[in-house]
Amino acid sequence: MAKLILFVGIVVVLWMWWKRSTASRSMSIEEARLLLGVAPEAPADEIRAAHRRIIARVHPDAGGSEELARKINAARDLLLKSGVEASSRPD
């Protein structure tokens, strides 16, 4: 019985890991821009500001959805890793 419970636990953990990894890979850069509401030429500072504004409303601690917060975070991460300029502030 203990072996069965351990096996089921391992299967559940692997399924959750697989589901999370496939969900984060399926978003395109265009979808991420639409989700955050930023223009294609938006600098990193604008992306971070849009993320903060939206996540404040949809965060689970504020009564929002955990799945939506995860998507908002994934959109921010994707856009910041896609090669936007580091800052919009002049030096």
Given a cut of 80, whether residue 84 has pLDDT beyond it is no
Given a cut of 90, whether residue 91 has pLDDT beyond it is no
CATH topology of domain 28-81: Helix Hairpins (1.10.287)
The first and second tokens of residue 8, run together, are 């089921």
* Predicted local confidence at residue 18, as pLDDT: 79
Q: Give CA–CA dist 32/75, Å, rounded.
A: 4
- pLDDT tens digits for 8-24? 889 888 888 877 766 55
How far lies 30's CA from each of 6, 37, 78, in Å?
Answer: 41, 10, 10
- pLDDT tens digits for 52-83? 999 999 988 988 889 899 999 999 999 999 87
* Predicted local confidence at residue 86, as pLDDT: 46
